[in-house]
């Protein structure tokens, strides 16, 4: 998905009310068949190895994963962390966190988690 399409999708999410996951109105951030959106089983769980490799405490990564799984999925399909464009993510995250009514510490935890997944997958950011 192109960065501008991601930004527009995120903006539309911010401007519309969240729809509970059972309501049939979940926004799909993907917009294509590039595999960017996955199911819950495809989103990696934090591990000691992930924490060590990322240099972040396991508890921080666990909190980021928890917020990612419980809050992000309320408004849209899960985007696989390793498919996230960090520049777009860092721009959109503060707005989404405020929209969800979460503290900035959760924003940091989610970002740390996403970066840890990318690092574990051998991706540069």
Judge whether 9 lies within some domain: no
pLDDT tens string, the chain, 125 residues long: the values are 454 454 444 444 443 334 333 333 333 333 333 445 556 778 899 999 999 999 999 999 999 999 998 888 788 777 788 888 888 888 888 888 888 899 999 999 999 999 999 999 888 76
Judge whether 38 lies within some domain: no
Q: What is this structure's pTM?
A: 0.68
Judge whether 34 lies within some domain: no
- What letter would DSSP give residue 22? G
Judge whether 28 lies within some domain: no
Give the pair of three-digit tokens for residue 20. Answer: 């509970």
CA distances from 64 to 22, 23, 68, 84, 122 (A): 23, 25, 6, 15, 19
Judge whether 76 lies within some domain: yes
Q: What's the structural domain count of the chain? A: 1
Judge whether 37 lies within some domain: no
Judge whether 40 lies within some domain: no
Q: Give the structural domain span for 109.
A: 46-125
């Amino acid at each position: 998905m192109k960065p501008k399409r991601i930004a527009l999708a995120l903006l539309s999410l911010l401007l519309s009310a969240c729809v509970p996951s059972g309501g049939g109105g979940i926004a799909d951030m993907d917009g294509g068949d590039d595999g960017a959106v996955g199911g819950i089983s495809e989103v990696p769980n934090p591990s000691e190895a992930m924490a060590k490799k990322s240099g972040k405490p396991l508890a921080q990564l666990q909190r980021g994963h928890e917020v990612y799984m419980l809050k992000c999925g309320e408004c849209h399909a899960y985007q696989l962390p390793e498919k996230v464009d960090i520049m777009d993510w860092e721009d959109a995250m503060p707005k989404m966190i405020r929209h969800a009514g979460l503290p900035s510490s959760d924003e940091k935890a989610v970002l740390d988690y996403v970066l840890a997944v990318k690092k574990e997958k051998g991706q540069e950011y």
